Amino acid sequence: MYKRREKFSWLFLLFTLAAAVGFVAIQPPATERERWELLFFLFPIGFVLSIMFISRQQYNKVKDIEIPESQKQLLELKEIVVKKDVALLPRLFLFEKTGEFIGEVKPVELSWWMRTLLSTHSVFLTLLPMTYGFFTHKNERLVTFQKKGWLKQVELTIFDAQQRKIGTYIQEELKALIHIRGELFNAQGELILPIKASGFSGNFSWNDEQERQWAYFYNGIFPHEYTDLFQDSHNHIVKLTDEISEEDKACLLAVIGYLFMMRVKN
């Protein structure tokens, strides 16, 4: 991930330099003031160079750390670490808290024009109807959720590994900037979990009618003992229950995957 971030920084640096050279070639500075105005290009160049330096440092810290593949099933886990990937197409990496790689969440079934739009800006995650999949480290799809709607309401249709519909999540999109509110239903259309989260921090604690806590996340809380494995600050640890059925947990993970994927654009 750090190597990819450094690579994209190089590409952006070359683009910025090319833009500066092109600007000077088309409109050469004629006065002292216009020459000083060219210093504007130093800000993005300096920013990119700092990202490259930090990425290289972080890569050197973790390059010798082996990342084993998890021997556990995704639906068995009580805690997962969510990391945003740095790539043209948005993606989330999932780890056990001890560093084993679980899998990833990413858009699937993308047409060429959707790939093009997503590579230009991640805001299209919100605007476009999308299909996402939870994949194991063996590239096996465990959970799929299809998102449709925008502005007023968003609806997720959730499927298991056999592509059987197992649930639906409906979110009031208009209020999502301040307070995320939604409802999670099972395959029979029965409400199984009310969803509330902070639109600013993403914090949530979800309990059902029996007061069982299904999931918990607090932004900024990441155990210090795991920071050797997860060097940068873009790590989020989510606690999950093991007291619900596999279908309900798959639905729960779909909602969590969607909420974190929407945070990619921030």
The C-alpha atoms of residue 160 and residue 90 are separated, in whole angstroms, by 22
The pair phi, psi for residue 138, each rounded to 5°, is: -95, 10
Partnered with residue 93 across adjacent β-strands are 83, 104
10-residue mean pLDDT series, the chain (266 residues) = 58 71 72 70 70 63 67 89 80 88 91 82 82 93 93 93 96 79 95 91 91 90 63 79 93 95 71
The C-alpha atoms of residue 203 and residue 239 are separated, in whole angstroms, by 12
Confidence at residue 199, expressed as pLDDT on a 0 to 100 scale: 81
Confidence at residue 57, expressed as pLDDT on a 0 to 100 scale: 61
Confidence at residue 265, expressed as pLDDT on a 0 to 100 scale: 56
Q: Are 51 and 9 in contact (CB under 8 A)?
A: yes
Q: Strand 191-198 and strand 235-240: pairing?
A: unpaired
| Strand intervals (E) in 165-250 | 165-172, 179-186, 191-198, 204-207, 213-217, 235-240
Confidence at residue 167, expressed as pLDDT on a 0 to 100 scale: 97
DSSP 251: H
